[in-house]
Structures are given as structure tokens and as C-alpha cells.
């Protein structure tokens, strides 16, 4: 495997010039079907290049375990064999399966890793995007659901109830990978850094000359970069939204986030952003809360102390309603150029 490491600076070699002030230096690689960036705050980019390389390489390692896009990953091995026999699970995959099971339980099945056959049916995981028939969805649903997975966390074994059942860790593995990178950085003594894997982020310490890191909540209309920003300090964040992958038909847009209980794309929300202590939590929860819809998502988040959320939903007549949980009120800032396009509410 070749890891391509990109530096945002023109030179990384040590210089005889006086040490410059600390600045944010991004290092990038392409993995998990997207771009990953590890930004380290340093006065000497060459001194942290090896650490950045280790962090980015960690994402490739996690991808080799949990990818659905190769035939050599642990997840691919599970999907090939667990429909007919018990399969021993790599200990890290077992950790992710256990976290997914907790969120599946707490969301009433709105987040469910067995959604894989439905995602493939719609063409969002390989193949051509299309709208399946209700009969196709009904048949596929026979292989989907938490009851189709028999996972023994103590023995680290898994078996599927039907041969057609498959798992997809795409809604949680990125968060786990980002947490792994954060652990490497912390163990190496890095205090100020931002890890970003397609919006799955961990913010360590502070950006240069700032208290914490300012992370944007995307403007789904594309007219502006962000609707607002959230200030983070030693926290994680991620967002689920239906504005990137979708299929259009008969004047209607069907997003890629499938409700595993119905087999149809979830409707009603534009995005859900989750802030928590760990990225794996954020990654798992944002999908489940998106599927639940605005009212249920807000009620569930409000009842928990381990997550805080921002919900964006369409506003009647155009624009958006942005719901910000009270725990984030002091850290959420609306961008001035979009004020007229949204209604801000706290809950």
C-alpha cells in the first residue's frame, strides 16, 4: 500500500531562519472513499511530518478492516461467511459492532448496520443508482434488522440469521478511525490538532491564537460554505446530510440515508450534526437521528447527556429551520450572510 502524504507548505525541510510562530499545518491522504486531513499546530512542519504520516496511515489500516469496497477486509470476510456459520471477529471490529449495537438499541433500529442490502439495492454501494420497486424492497427487508445479527461480544463472534444479511460499517467506521488517529496524536504529546475525515472530526486543544477550533455546519444550498459554526475543544463532531448522494426521479429527490425499518430513504431533515466526546459516537448517532426525524431526534438528544445536536430542516416557503440544543447555545454562531435564509430555534 502506498500512502500519499500532502503538505500544505511549500517546504518541510528545516531552515536556518528563526523559528516561526505556531501555525496550522494540514497533511492529507485519500482513504475510505474520501479525503482525510490531519492538521497539526506547530512552528516546524518537518518536526511533525512523521507523526502526521502515522496518523494518516492509521486511517488506511482501519479502512483495511472495515471497508465494504474491497474483498479483503474483515467486514468482507464476515459478509461472505456469517450467513452460514459463526465467524470470529477482529477485536477492533468487535468494538465497533458493540457500539453500533448500543446505538441501534437506543434509536429503536433507526441506525442499523444490516442496512447494507438496502443500500446496494438503491445503488448507493456499488452499481447504478436507481429507485427499486416496493416488491424488491420488501424482499430485501427480509434480510435486514437487528434480529438478523447474533453477535457475541464476549466471544467476539458473529452469525447472521439469513444468508442474505450483510453489514455495512460505513455509518460508524470513519468515526472510529478518527478516534484512533486522535489516540496516536495524544500519545505522542500533540496537544493542538484537528482530524477531519469527510466531516468526521476530532478537535484537540486549540487552533493557533484561538480558544478551541471553529467547525462549520454546512449550508446545504451550496450558496455559502456554512450556515453557522460550532466552537469545539477536545471534542468530536460529525454530520449526516442528504445533499451529496441522491437519485432524482419524477421530480423527487431520494437521498442516500436509508431508513432500515422501511427500506426507503429517510425524509424530513436536511442534516443532523452531533457533538460528543468521541467521533465513533458522533458517526453512529448522526445517521440514526437523521432517520428519526426532527421531533424524535431532538427529544432523544435532549434526554441524553453524552451527545448534543444541531438539526437542520426545510422551512416552509424556502430556507431552513436550524434547531440548536441548549448545551451548544454559547458555542454556536450563525454566519451573517445566511441570517435571512433561516430561522434559528433552541431546544
Q: According to the model, what pLDDT value does residue 55 have?
A: 98
> What is the grid cell recorded at 8?
500544505
The pLDDT assigned to 248 comes to 80
Q: What is the pLDDT of residue 11?
A: 41
User: pLDDT tens for residues 286-317?
Assistant: 999 999 999 999 999 999 999 999 999 999 99
Q: At residue 19, does pLDDT exceed 80?
A: no
Question: Where in the chain are all domains bearing CATH 1.10.3980.10?
Answer: 74-160
Q: Which residue from 249, 80, 96, 67 is spatially nearest to 160, judged by alpha carbons?
A: 80
Where are the domain boundaries for CATH 3.10.520.10 in the chain?
20-61+172-346
Termini Cα distance of the chain: 47
Statement: residue 8 has pLDDT above 50: no
Strand, helix or coil for residue 143:
coil
The residue with greater pLDDT, 33 or 200, is: 200
Share of the chain above pLDDT 70, in %: 95
Q: To which H or E segment does residue 344 belong?
A: strand 342-346
Strand partners, 40: 25, 193
- Tens-place pLDDT, residues 41-77: 999 999 999 999 999 999 999 999 999 888 999 999 9
The class that CATH gives domain 74-160 is mainly alpha
Which CATH number does the domain 20-61+172-346 belong to among 3.10.520.10, 1.10.357.10, 2.30.29.30, 1.10.3210.10?
A: 3.10.520.10
pTM of the model: 0.92
Cell numbers 478518527: residue:
178
Cβ atoms within 10 Å, residue 179? 22
Amino acid at each position: 500500500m502506498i500512502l500519499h502524504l500532502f503538505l500544505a507548505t511549500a517546504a518541510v525541510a528545516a531552515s536556518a531562519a528563526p523559528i516561526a510562530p505556531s501555525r496550522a499545518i494540514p497533511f492529507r491522504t485519500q482513504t475510505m472513499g474520501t479525503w482525510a486531513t490531519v492538521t497539526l499546530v506547530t512552528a516546524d512542519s518537518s518536526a511533525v511530518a512523521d507523526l502526521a504520516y502515522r496518523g494518516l496511515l492509521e486511517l488506511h489500516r482501519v479502512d483495511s478492516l472495515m471497508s465494504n469496497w474491497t474483498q479483503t477486509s474483515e467486514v468482507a470476510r464476515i459478509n461472505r461467511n456469517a450467513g452460514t456459520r459463526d465467524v470470529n471477529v477482529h477485536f477492533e471490529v468487535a468494538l465497533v459492532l458493540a457500539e453500533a449495537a448500543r446505538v441501534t438499541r437506543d434509536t429503536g433500529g433507526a441506525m442499523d448496520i444490516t442496512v447494507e442490502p438496502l443500500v446496494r439495492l438503491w445503488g448507493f454501494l456499488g452499481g447504478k443508482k436507481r429507485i427499486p420497486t416496493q416488491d424488491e424492497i420488501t424482499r430485501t427487508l427480509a434480510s435486514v434488522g437487528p434480529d438478523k445479527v447474533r453477535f457475541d461480544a464476549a466471544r467476539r463472534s458473529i452469525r447472521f440469521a439469513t444468508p442474505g444479511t450483510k453489514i455495512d460499517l460505513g455509518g460508524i467506521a470513519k468515526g472510529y478511525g478518527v478516534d484512533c488517529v486522535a489516540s496516536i496524536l495524544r500519545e505522542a504529546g500533540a496537544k493542538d490538532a484537528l482530524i477531519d475525515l469527510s466531516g468526521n472530526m476530532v478537535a484537540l486543544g486549540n487552533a493557533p491564537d484561538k480558544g478551541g477550533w471553529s467547525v462549520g455546519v454546512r449550508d446545504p444550498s451550496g450558496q455559502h460554505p456554512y450556515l453557522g459554526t460550532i466552537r469545539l475543544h477536545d471534542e468530536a463532531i460529525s454530520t449526516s446530510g442528504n445533499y451529496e448522494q441522491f437519485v432524482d426521479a419524477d421530480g423527487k429527490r431520494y437521498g442516500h440515508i436509508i431508513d432500515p425499518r422501511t427500506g426507503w430513504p429517510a425524509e424530513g431533515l436536511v442534516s443532523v450534526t452531533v457533538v460528543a466526546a468521541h467521533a465513533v459516537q458522533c458517526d453512529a448517532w448522526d445517521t440514526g437521528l437523521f432517520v428519526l426525524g426532527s421531533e424524535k431526534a431532538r427529544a432523544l438528544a435532549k434526554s441524553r447527556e453524552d451527545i448534543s445536536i444541531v438539526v437542520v430542516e426545510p422551512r416552509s416557503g424556502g430556507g431552513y429551520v436550524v434547531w440548536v440544543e441548549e448545551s451548544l447555545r454559547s458555542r454556536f454562531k450563525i454566519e451573517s450572510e445566511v441570517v435571512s435564509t433561516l430561522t434559528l430555534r433552541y431546544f
